[in-house]
Structure 1
Amino acid sequence: MSQFKEPIFDVAQLAHVELLSPKPEESVEFFTRFLGMSVTARSGQSVYLKAYEDTYQNTLKITESNDAGLGHLALRTISPQALERRVEAVKATGLGKGWIDGDIGHGPAYQFTTPDGHNMELLFDVEYYQPKEEEKTRLLNRNVKRPDRGVPVRRLDHINLMTSNPGKNTDFLVDALGFRVREQIKNEGNVLGSWMSVSNLVHEIAFMQEPNQIPGKLHHLCYWYGIPQNLYDIADLLKENDIFIEVPPNKHGISQAFCMYVYEPGGNRIELFGDAGYLITDPTWETVTWEMKDTPGFGDTWIGTAFPDSWWNQGTPVTVPEIVK
């Protein structure tokens, strides 16, 4: 049996994500009208939203900006003590930025970056969403009623980040934060992509190679349905309303998840999961490694149409080398 390091269980989950949008109101309309999400707060240039099975006050923050892309992502720890341990580990890497008092929906958070410059934060104290009277459900294990608009997504699932050096950024998440590498793409020993989690999901954060070695970009943010048919329902609705569908309902090889990819009006790629693929309960799971030569047509798409070049090459913000290419 391979030698396994003592796992770090201090980080519990991906808690929320901030997306930047040059068309914030159109972005908000996309998530509310089509994906059935609810606006829970507004402050300054930002709007806060949640899906109907998200229990926190928000899992998505949309902030007005000149360019699309990632504002930041937040990771919640399992305890205040775990938060302090992970903060000290991040400080030791030299990538820490410092504490903030908090934001709508959560308390104090420690801000830092990946080696590639993606903004992240660690937190523990969160505010749980309190439903309005008309939102209350008789299901005691659900936060609010299922919305009666669009094809409602159920919860935040994962985020995929483009990076100039997937291997270096993967090592940072593993060593400083305790992520486990579930699947990986390599080319002659070089890491081109990693799918990582702190739970039994295949991934909560993924890194992909940015072809021009430009750091700090967003590939996509994903929300979860859990039912493959919902992908066909939302695809029908989006096509009728001129929302660009980059990849129609499909199935990944990596993760085995039913998926589709669309662009919200602000320019960010959004993935929608018809299910989450397989779950990992094996505590000594060994990383599944794909060679790049075997990935197109198998790792990206197992059943369905081939993924376009844009899926492999483009993230946000869109940059000059990307446009020229």
Structure 2
Amino acid sequence: MTPPLGDIAHLGHVELLTPDLDASVDFFTRILGLTENGRQGDSVYLRTWDDYEHHSLVLTAHTTSGIRRTALRTSSEEALGRRVAELEAAGHTGRWVSDEPGLGPLYVTSDPDGHEVALYWGSEWYQAPADLKPGLKNQPQAKPAHGVGVRRLDHVNFLGADVAANAAFTRDLLGARPTEQIVLDTGRLAAQWLTFTNKSYDLVYTEDWTGSRGRLHHIAFATDTREDILRAADICLDNQVFIETGPHKHAIQQTFFLYVYEPGGNRIELCNPLTRLVLAPDWPLVTWTESERSKGQAWGLKTIESFHTHGTPPVA
């Protein structure tokens, strides 16, 4: 197994599918404050202001919602080669593509559930145009003067038919380490949070109650402060954005959060986890029991039922 903080450097970007591309682009740019950085075919490339790469999010027109690709940048070209070799040795065959602007070749494979995972090394560093030049040279882009102004893509929460198998794939073949998990009274693993960095989590696998494969629970964007989450709730209220739940505080990972639906139907979390880092190399895996989880959030209102039932794409 690759040591923690090894061959995968960080979560690069995700591709979301949307049946209403124009409305989704408007939401992510005008409401959340991302910047459009190009179009190609049916896809629009967007970036957060503190991302150094070409894009943080790809929105692609489709007949339904959901997630298509989750891209992870490796720590070197050699690390990319090692991960590809181990994936193929374990039977997770993939393909090489060069279909995203600003990036070198991507090795595209999938986890046991069918979620598309892409690994890459080559990346074009973003150069801000004159109207987006920051005041500080160690910042890639000026902060947006509108919307929430989310700082970066923070994490992805997948829905999966078999949490244990998907988490093992992420740990054993990609080198992530688990930080927290939920284990039911039957002994079944119901959710696991995993990290490639010193953040407390980058990817999450949560059991899909429908038994479906390859679905999405949510993607999350981090804000600078908790107050930004409160401001985001007001902005969403003013702009008729559906607020599912929050602002509240999670017990697991202690994240302060707001969940909304973007116009395409995908759940989006706005979160402030920036103060919680996992610095200990021997961090003990925290396990939450079924009874502990039944108590709900750390504080705030009880978890709304749709949080456990809504995923994309929708199923009958």
**What's the TM-score once normalised by structure 2's chain length?**
0.97
Q: 1:101 aligns with which of 98, 103, 106?
A: 98
Partner of 2:304: 308
Distance 1:203 1:184 in 2: 11
Unaligned runs of 5+ in 1: 321-325
Distance 1:125 1:224 in 2: 25
Please state how far the C-alpha of 1:151 moved relative to its aligned partner: 1.6
Q: Render the CA deviation track for 1:152-201: whole Å, top value 9, x for unaligned.
A: 10111000000000011000111100000000000132100000001111
Please state how far the C-alpha of 1:98 moved relative to its aligned partner: 1.1
Q: 1:240 aligns with which of 235, 238, 241?
A: 238
Q: Does residue 45 of structure 1 match 2:45? A: no
Unaligned runs of 5+ in 2: none
For 1:221, give the aligned amino acid: I
For 1:214, give the aligned amino acid: S
Q: Render the CA deviation track for 1:26-77: whole Å, top value 9, x for unaligned.
A: 0000010011110001011000000111111101000000010001000010
Distance 2:155 2:5 in 1: 20
Distance 2:195 2:147 in 1: 30
Distance 1:69 1:202 in 2: 25
Partner of 1:140: 137
4+ residue runs over 6 A deviation = none
Partner of 1:323: none
For 2:300, give the aligned amino acid: G
Distance 1:6 1:69 in 2: 31
Distance 2:211 2:256 in 1: 29
Q: Which moved more, 1:90-99 or 1:145-154?
A: 90-99
For 2:269, give the aligned amino acid: E
Please state how far the C-alpha of 1:137 moved relative to its aligned partner: 1.4
Q: What is the SS of the residue equivalent to 1:267?
A: coil
Q: What is the SS of the residue equivalent to 1:234?
A: helix
Kept in 2: contact 1:257–1:277 (CA 8 A):
no
Partner of 1:80: 77
Distance 1:236 1:28 in 2: 20
Q: What is the SS of the residue equivalent to 1:255?
A: helix
Q: 1:201 aligns with which of 170, 195, 199?
A: 199
Kept in 2: contact 1:256–1:277 (CA 8 A):
no
Q: Render the CA deviation track for 1:74-97: whole Å, top value 9, x for unaligned.
A: 001000000000001111222222
For 2:128, give the aligned amino acid: P
Kept in 2: contact 1:252–1:258 (CA 8 A):
yes
Distance 1:214 1:78 in 2: 33
Partner of 1:16: 13
Please state how far the C-alpha of 1:9 moved relative to its aligned partner: 0.6
Please state how far the C-alpha of 1:223 moved relative to its aligned partner: 0.4
Kept in 1: contact 2:5–2:197 (CA 8 A):
no
Please list, as runs of the form range in 1=range in 2, the aligned pairs for 1:260-275 lying within 5 A after superposition. 260-275=258-273
Partner of 1:69: 66
> Given the superposition, is the C-alpha separation of residues 27 and 44 from structure 1 closer, same or farther in structure 2, using an over 3 Å criterion?
same
Please state how far the C-alpha of 1:226 moved relative to its aligned partner: 2.5
Please list, as runs of the form range in 1=range in 2, the aligned pairs for 1:162-241 lying within 5 A after superposition. 162-187=159-184, 188-241=186-239
Distance 2:5 2:188 in 1: 25
Aligned residues: 315
Please state how far the C-alpha of 1:6 moved relative to its aligned partner: 4.9
